[in-house]
Chain A
Amino acid sequence: MLKTLIKSRIDAIISAIIFDNKNKKRRSTVAVILISLMLVLLVGIIVASLSFLFYAITLIGKETGDNWATMTLASLVASLFCVIGSIFATKTQIFDSKDNELLLSMPIKPRSIFLSRIIVLLVVNYLLESLIMVPAMIIYGVVCSYTPLGFVFAILSYLLIPVFTLAVSTIIAWIVSFVSSRVKNKTAVSVVLYLVLFLGYMYLCFNMGYSAGSDDGEIDLSGLKSTAIFYCVGEAAANGDWLCFLLFALTAIIPSVVIYIVLDFSFIKILTTKKTAAKIEYKGNNQKASSAFGGLVKKELSRFFKSSAYIMNAGMGNILMIVIAIVAAVSSSSAFDLVEELASELSLVNPQLASFLTENTSGIFALLISCIALFLNSTNIVSAPSISLEDKNLWILQCAPVSARQVVFAKIVSHLIICTPAPVIATLIACIALEVTVAHTIMCLLVILSAVVFTAYLGMLLGLKFPKFGWQNENVAIKQGFAVFGSMFGSMLLGIILIALGIFGITTSYYVSSVLMLTPSLIFAIIIHLYLYLCAENNFEKLRN
């Protein structure tokens, strides 16, 4: 029975790749190959960039005698990657799965249902972990070589990490599911809970904080030691320290076993207990009228703000921007000190560059703010999954007396409404804190706003061209599919090009830099605008069955 349940779960994952839900037929071999190649490319980019990082860390660690650093960092990143990657899937597949009731009505042991979910999630966690741990383990082995015991501990750690992270995801998902089912404002509570629990987990990972730098300017990896149990993984793998491994193994196994046993016993109770959400009272008939376009925009905003998964996966950049801006504001004096220190060190090697640095501090800070905002903006992909999210509701818009153009532009406007305030506020906070001139602040704002506009249009274009229909839970539409990846990586790629142009332009002034940075975004946005304006009807028409 367990085998059948696991098979049905895996079949669902495979059919998402093989079947085209938009056209309700099997994808052609070419399409499957293209999708597979895209996945390989995506995995390749992640593996290559992390391998580069691990290689650098391993070399430094070897030189400074901190051999443990590679596996410590790898296990830490893998653990965060697994928790981030599986937290929503855990909630939807274990606690909110649509087939829970159907399966419970059949002669299947609840334990089998629970285990089938856990095993599939575990497999997904192993896949996610492998992207990080496997390159790190190979690089460490090639550069430093393992002791036999160290190698065994590395393998065992690799096997234990997903077990531990899945237990963490499961308990976070259970808390969110339990609390959100009993409150009125589910979305806000869910978002806050996810953030608090995730940050709490990170805090525990880093024990009491983490600093990779040292005062004397030398690269110092000792800060990684504060990553508590992950330091144990590094130490065990590098030096074959059995005590460290035992500590890690016990920390990973004991809480995981307790969590799995508790959930296993309470699984049926969790699913069958009637959730007593407070009823929202209807306070009379005082309605507000809007235009059709206004109604469409309000609907999009409502969809975004009513879904914690949508907020966390497609609007995370907004939250991070504000957090980073506040951090910048609090530690602005350190930034000035750093520039001063850098300038004094450079004055010996390159006096010209040192004087450029001190004379153009405002422009350099503006460029830095632009770069960070451009990078974070690429994670704000609200428009990309918006067509996929229509799916079963698409009939409402198709029956309504509104044009496809109105629908498409309402989604773009909604993206702009959601993704504009945070970058503007964050930029203003950072610019004020770092004493960026008014003119530079304005240019900085224009650079960021042009990137926001570009991302909105790119997401809409890809969403319209590559919708992901036929999903069972909205996480699939929000997190998967070419529209989402394309939009994120497209924005990231353009961001990298813009940052390169910005760095090139800063040698003249930030004005040149900012013009170079905002022009491509605007040109691409205008091109997509014209395309959507002319072809939205045709593209929307193709969405009909």
Chain B
Amino acid sequence: MLQIKGLSKLYGEKKAVDNLSLTINSGEMYAFIGHNGAGKTTTLKSICGLLNFEMGEILIDGVSIKDSPIECKRKIAYIPDNPDLYEFMSGIKYLNFIADIYGIGKKEREEKIEKYANMFSLTADLAQPISAYSHGMKQKLAIISALIHSPRLLLMDEPFVGLDPKAAYLLKEEMKNICNDGGAIFFSTHVLDVAEKICDNIAIIKDGKLIACGKMQDVKGDSSLESVFLDLYEGKEGFSIETPENKNEISEADASLTEEKEGEAQC
């Protein structure tokens, strides 16, 4: 579904993302964790075509985002960490705008708007201007707008921030449904408990470099994700990273638990 090959993104002299490689298959839910400024948002924005990148390749269903951006964008949906929506529109107008952009027919959009607006308890406020929405309501609207065109790949940056417990639960259920239907999800979060509970896979980024990725169980083993994350960030020994040079040497189980080393980090 998603293939990132050697992605590098520079902001002036600073490398925000450094030679990052990652593959996410259909049905997989990937959590993306790292400290503030590690490169999570830059990576997510690069995937959905919001940022140009200097090196590497991003393929969505085998199609390059650089070569065929519109074809790729039809398959993805992105929810930013702070959804700045069109405040001059009402919620329903915004959803209709998104439905127009993705070419969703009248009947289908009516069904989906009804379904998701009811699900996230936003129906009564759909006629209100977005400028009158709280942060949580804006987040719900952004989520609904992402779901109404049934994306194959859902990219989310801190999706649970601002959501009430019920909405957070419903979002998690919906994320599972998308994966069960053959879609894929890649989202960043600082809430490690959530990542641990709902994701099969995890990628950890530090200073723009992927320092660990793979199956959740393989990465964290018997420890909690929190302790593994902190250990990786403090650079404790005992972890290895899969590189082209040592690819054959690392056993399948070890390969999932990686530590930053020289060369290309990939997963």
Specify which chain A residues have a CB less than 8 angstroms from the CB of B86 in the assembled complex: 299, 302-303, 393, 396
Residue interface mask A324-363, B partner, CB < 8 A = 1: 0000000000000000000000000000000000000000
Find out whether the CB atom of A544 lies under 8 angstroms from the CB atom of B106.
no
The reply on A3 being an interface residue by CB < 8 A is no
Residue interface mask A268-301, B partner, CB < 8 A = 1: 0000000001011111011111111011101100
A303-B88 contact, Cβ under 8 Å, with A282-B124, A289-B105, A399-B73? yes
Find out whether the CB atom of B78 lies under 8 angstroms from the CB atom of A399.
yes
* CA distance in complex: A200, B33 (Å): 60
Find out whether the CB atom of A396 lies under 8 angstroms from the CB atom of B106.
no
* CA distance in complex: A403, B104 (Å): 18
**Interchain CB contact (< 8 A) of B50 among A292, A401, A402, A544:** A544
The reply on A400 being an interface residue by CB < 8 A is yes
Contact segment of B89-97, B178-186, B203-211: B89-97
A302-B93 contact, Cβ under 8 Å, with A282-B123, A282-B125, A290-B100? yes
With CB as the reference atom, state the residue of chain B lying closest to A389: B88
* CA distance in complex: A288, B107 (Å): 9
A402-B101 contact, Cβ under 8 Å, with A279-B128, A395-B50? yes
Specify which chain A residues have a CB less than 8 angstroms from the CB of B129 in the assembled complex: 280, 306
* CA distance in complex: A307, B89 (Å): 11
- Chain B stretch 99-114: residues in CB contact (< 8 A) with chain A: 99-106, 109-110, 113-114
* CA distance in complex: A287, B94 (Å): 12
The reply on B162 being an interface residue by CB < 8 A is no
Find out whether the CB atom of A288 lies under 8 angstroms from the CB atom of B85.
no
* CA distance in complex: A398, B46 (Å): 11
**Interchain CB contact (< 8 A) of A291 among B71, B100, B127:** B100
How far in angstroms is the closest Cβ of chain A from B41?
Answer: 11
Specify which chain A residues have a CB less than 8 angstroms from the CB of B27 in the assembled complex: none
Find out whether the CB atom of A400 lies under 8 angstroms from the CB atom of B101.
yes
**Interchain CB contact (< 8 A) of B106 among A289, A307, A400, A402:** A289
How far in angstroms is the closest Cβ of chain A from B236?
Answer: 35
The reply on B48 being an interface residue by CB < 8 A is yes
The reply on B84 being an interface residue by CB < 8 A is yes
Specify which chain B residues have a CB less than 8 angstroms from the CB of A281 in the assembled complex: 127
The reply on B126 being an interface residue by CB < 8 A is yes
How far in angstroms is the closest Cβ of chain B from A462?
Answer: 23
A401-B70 contact, Cβ under 8 Å, with A285-B113, A287-B109, A544-B52? yes
How far in angstroms is the closest Cβ of chain A from B12?
Answer: 8
A399-B48 contact, Cβ under 8 Å, with A287-B113, A291-B100? yes
Specify which chain A residues have a CB less than 8 angstroms from the CB of B77 in the assembled complex: 399
**Interchain CB contact (< 8 A) of B96 among A280, A295, A307, A396:** A295
* CA distance in complex: A395, B44 (Å): 12
- Chain B stretch 220-267: residues in CB contact (< 8 A) with chain A: none
Number of contact residues on B: which range applies?
35 or more
Specify which chain B residues have a CB less than 8 angstroms from the CB of A541 in the assembled complex: 52
With CB as the reference atom, state the residue of chain A lying closest to B86: A393
Interface centre among A281, A286, A399 (most CB of B within 10 A): A399
A295-B50 contact, Cβ under 8 Å, with A289-B109, A403-B70? no
**Interchain CB contact (< 8 A) of A401 among B73, B84, B123, B124:** B73
How far in angstroms is the closest Cβ of chain A from B132?
Answer: 7
- Chain A stretch 393-420: residues in CB contact (< 8 A) with chain B: 393, 395-396, 398-403
- Chain B stretch 112-150: residues in CB contact (< 8 A) with chain A: 113-114, 123-129, 132
Find out whether the CB atom of A402 lies under 8 angstroms from the CB atom of B97.
no
**Interchain CB contact (< 8 A) of A302 among B48, B85, B89:** B89
Interface centre among A289, A292, A544 (most CB of B within 10 A): A289
**Interchain CB contact (< 8 A) of A286 among B50, B74, B90, B110:** B110
Residue interface mask B61-82, A partner, CB < 8 A = 1: 0000000001101101110100
The reply on B49 being an interface residue by CB < 8 A is yes
Interface centre among A283, A294, A401 (most CB of B within 10 A): A401
Specify which chain B residues have a CB less than 8 angstroms from the CB of A280 in the assembled complex: 90, 127-129
The reply on A545 being an interface residue by CB < 8 A is yes
The reply on B192 being an interface residue by CB < 8 A is no
Specify which chain B residues have a CB less than 8 angstroms from the CB of A279 in the assembled complex: 128
The reply on B194 being an interface residue by CB < 8 A is no
* CA distance in complex: A279, B124 (Å): 10
With CB as the reference atom, state the residue of chain A lying closest to B146: A399
Find out whether the CB atom of A307 lies under 8 angstroms from the CB atom of B74.
no
Residue interface mask A303-335, B partner, CB < 8 A = 1: 100110000000000000000000000000000
Find out whether the CB atom of B127 lies under 8 angstroms from the CB atom of A307.
no
* CA distance in complex: A413, B133 (Å): 30
Specify which chain A residues have a CB less than 8 angstroms from the CB of B97 in the assembled complex: 295, 298-299
- Chain A stretch 364-414: residues in CB contact (< 8 A) with chain B: 392-393, 395-396, 398-403
Specify which chain B residues have a CB less than 8 angstroms from the CB of A290 in the assembled complex: 100
Find out whether the CB atom of B50 lies under 8 angstroms from the CB atom of A398.
yes
The reply on B51 being an interface residue by CB < 8 A is yes
How far in angstroms is the closest Cβ of chain A from B51?
Answer: 6
Closest 10 CB pairs of A and B: A295-B100, A306-B88, A392-B84, A401-B73, A282-B127, A280-B127, A282-B126, A401-B74, A289-B106, A290-B100
Question: A295-B96, A544-B51 provided; 20 other pairs, C-beta below 8 A?
Answer: A282-B125, A283-B127, A287-B106, A287-B110, A288-B96, A288-B106, A291-B103, A294-B100, A298-B100, A299-B86, A299-B97, A302-B88, A303-B86, A307-B88, A395-B80, A399-B50, A399-B73, A401-B74, A403-B70, A545-B50
Chain B positions near chain A (C-beta within 8 angstroms): 48-52, 70-71, 73-74, 76-78, 80, 84-86, 88-90, 92-93, 96-106, 109-110, 113-114, 123-129, 132
Chain A positions near chain B (C-beta within 8 angstroms): 277, 279-283, 285-292, 294-296, 298-299, 302-303, 306-307, 392-393, 395-396, 398-403, 541, 544-545
